[in-house]
Chain A
Amino acid sequence: MTPFVIVILSALAALVTLALVFTAVWRLWSPRAALEFAAALLLTALVCQGFWIIFSGLELERSSAALWKYRESLLLGWWVTLLVSAGSLIGSCLVAAVLVAGQRSALKSVRWFTQGFVEVVRGMPLLSLVLIGFYVVLNNRTISVALESVNLGGKLFAGILLLSVFTGAYLTEILRGGLESIPQAQLDSARAVGFDRRQVLRYVVFPQALRRVLPALAGQFVSLVKDSSLLMVIGVNEFTYQARAFYAATYLGVEAFLPLAAGYLLLTLPIAAFAHWLERRFKAATAG
């Protein structure tokens, strides 16, 4: 009897037992419950098989020894990803603030230039933006000398800057949508109570717009964390870069890339959870 059969049989046994207990206690038995039960059984078997295929080749001793040996570089990669993500999160907000201001400028040329910039950045794959940004723009002699003179010459800063610009362009369009979704009646009411232009934005428009775009913003920040992996093409030693280096040295795919996925989820799931929490908190305030 192979371990695979053991897994399936044990899952089956567990489910049958559970189902029997349920029906005995609550008399839930119906065609629908039967279907539910069959589906649960099938899916459990599928998941078990998936795990089996992935993990059957694992040699625990060899894997753990290799992971232990490279633990420092992998951990460093995770920290760099965290740093790049946090830096770009702040950076992208700054970029978006400038671009949103540009979109709302009183000068037509500024508005057009801003919108054009946003569209070009959003229309380009991040990979090409990173390559052009790093090898063409930031490598330009004048620019690189200027950056080095203020101690911002490294790849890390270049990566954060490029990711900030990319994400900032997306945030700009999300924020524009939010700002434009505030009904005219609210602007009228805000002016009617005597708020000046700045106060209308600060106390009435921004708080409401921000609540509305929160889910989209959170999604964009999750994307940002994941997009930071592309910075490996310019040699930023972030998590994916380190995982690939580990794989190249050991040829251990599962050991290299499953921790990689887990490491990203460790960063992205809290962001998503935080966004859901904020959404629930603001639910009443955004209704009507």
Chain B
Amino acid sequence: MKLQADSLIRTYGTLNALDGLTLSVEAGVLVLIGPSGGGKSTFLRLCGGLDEATSGSLRINDTPLGHDPARLLEWRKRNGFLFQQFNLFPHLTALRNITLPLEKVHGQHPAEAVVTARRCLDRFGLLAHADKLPAQMSGGQQQRAGLARAIAPGPEILLLDEPTSALDPEMTAEVLELIQELAAAGQHIILSTHEMGFARAVADQVALIAAGKILESGPPAEVFGSPREEFTQRFLAKVMRFS
């Protein structure tokens, strides 16, 4: 997976969520770390084709992500996205949450979609919950089902925006384990997280985003082992204090 971002700016009102973000990286798994409000989510939304840059250019695997709604829709269809929470549609069962996009977006036959969906749920240990509504499942189960929905169509890239931030430690471990499995199986992933141990273990490349810019990027051993920037050193010291 090749990602090239050049002077990305995304403005919300008077706030520059991204303030000239530039990054050129090639990785199987790219992990974004950094303080909250630094621009990780905004950058991920741009990468997922859910939002558009105010200026600058973004190119992933040689696909430019511009402003054309039809091309952005195509891009969203090709990739999977998981948010912090509230991913699932609350009026549909876990199974239907997966089969509906398979049928309506990816043109699968309903019977075929059910087979695919059940296989994905089974893979994540959720087959027993297939007919449950989201409100009847735990937060961890919901997030795993969201992950199952995201990977069901076989996405080119999986984008995960702090996928465990709303979960307790036990559920966090359940979800991180699945993500690690997916990464090991060769799934291309861009994710943001506050779980530094996990970031270090799963990433090919790490990028630290703060104040809408990339402050530091490189292989995890470099960024975590010998950070160049003082900000990175302070940030890591702070977040790793109790781990």
Roughly how many angstroms separate A227 CA and B82 CA in the complex, as a whole number?
Answer: 49
Cβ B133 vs Cβ A194 within 8 A: no
- Chain B, 68-83, contact with A by CB distance < 8 Å: what is the 0/1 string? 0000010011001111
Residue from A189, A191, A199, A211 in contact with B91 in the complex, judged by beta carbons closer than 8 Å? A211
Known: A203-B100, A284-B133. A189 touches B76 (CB 8 A): no
Chain B residues positioned under 8 Å from A264 (CB to CB): none
B49: shortest Cβ distance to chain A, in Å?
9
Residue from A188, A192, A193, A284 in contact with B136 in the complex, judged by beta carbons closer than 8 Å? A284
B66 in the interface, Cβ–Cβ < 8 Å? no
Cβ A195 vs Cβ B86 within 8 A: no
Chain B residues positioned under 8 Å from A189 (CB to CB): 83, 86-89
B105 in the interface, Cβ–Cβ < 8 Å? yes
Cβ A191 vs Cβ B50 within 8 A: yes
Chain A residues positioned under 8 Å from B105 (CB to CB): 193-195, 199
Roughly how many angstroms separate A288 CA and B101 CA in the complex, as a whole number?
Answer: 21
How many residues does chain A have at the interface if contact means C-beta atoms less than 8 Å apart?
Answer: 24
Chain A residues positioned under 8 Å from B134 (CB to CB): 288
Cβ A194 vs Cβ B76 within 8 A: yes
- Chain A, 171-215, contact with B by CB distance < 8 Å: what is the 0/1 string? 000000000000101101111111110010001100110010000
Chain A residues positioned under 8 Å from B89 (CB to CB): 186, 189-190, 203-204, 208
A282: shortest Cβ distance to chain B, in Å?
8
Cβ A286 vs Cβ B83 within 8 A: no
A287 in the interface, Cβ–Cβ < 8 Å? yes
Roughly how many angstroms separate A23 CA and B149 CA in the complex, as a whole number?
Answer: 59
Chain B residues positioned under 8 Å from A286 (CB to CB): 90-91
> Which residue among A185, A189, A204, A284 has the maximum number of chain B CB atoms within 10 Å of its CB?
A189
Residue from A191, A193, A199, A288 in contact with B90 in the complex, judged by beta carbons closer than 8 Å? A288
A16 in the interface, Cβ–Cβ < 8 Å? no
Roughly how many angstroms separate A190 CA and B100 CA in the complex, as a whole number?
Answer: 11
Cβ A203 vs Cβ B104 within 8 A: yes
Roughly how many angstroms separate A40 CA and B100 CA in the complex, as a whole number?
Answer: 54
B48 in the interface, Cβ–Cβ < 8 Å? yes
Cβ B83 vs Cβ A185 within 8 A: yes
A124 in the interface, Cβ–Cβ < 8 Å? no
Residues of A198-255 contacting chain B, CB below 8 A: 199, 203-204, 207-208, 211
> Which residue among A191, A192, A199, A208 has the maximum number of chain B CB atoms within 10 Å of its CB?
A192
A285 in the interface, Cβ–Cβ < 8 Å? yes
Chain A residue with Cβ nearest B81: A192
Chain A residues positioned under 8 Å from B136 (CB to CB): 284
> Which residue among A194, A196, A203 has the maximum number of chain B CB atoms within 10 Å of its CB?
A194
Residue from A185, A193, A282 in contact with B86 in the complex, judged by beta carbons closer than 8 Å? A185
Roughly how many angstroms separate A120 CA and B90 CA in the complex, as a whole number?
Answer: 36
Cβ B90 vs Cβ A208 within 8 A: yes
Cβ B90 vs Cβ A192 within 8 A: no
Chain B residues positioned under 8 Å from A196 (CB to CB): 73
Roughly how many angstroms separate A194 CA and B74 CA in the complex, as a whole number?
Answer: 8
A202: shortest Cβ distance to chain B, in Å?
9
Chain B residue with Cβ nearest A203: B100
Q: Sorted from nearest, which 8 A-B pairs have the closest CB atoms?
A: A194-B77, A192-B81, A194-B105, A185-B86, A193-B101, A285-B91, A287-B135, A288-B135
Chain A to chain B contacts (Cβ below 8 Å), 8 pairs: A185-B87, A190-B89, A193-B81, A195-B101, A195-B104, A208-B90, A285-B133, A288-B134
| 6 additional A-B residue pairs with CB within 8 Å, beyond A192-B82, A196-B73, A199-B104 | A193-B149, A194-B105, A195-B101, A282-B91, A287-B135, A288-B134
| B contact set with A: CB distance below 8 Å | 48, 50, 73, 76-77, 80-83, 85-92, 100-101, 104-106, 133-136, 149-150, 153
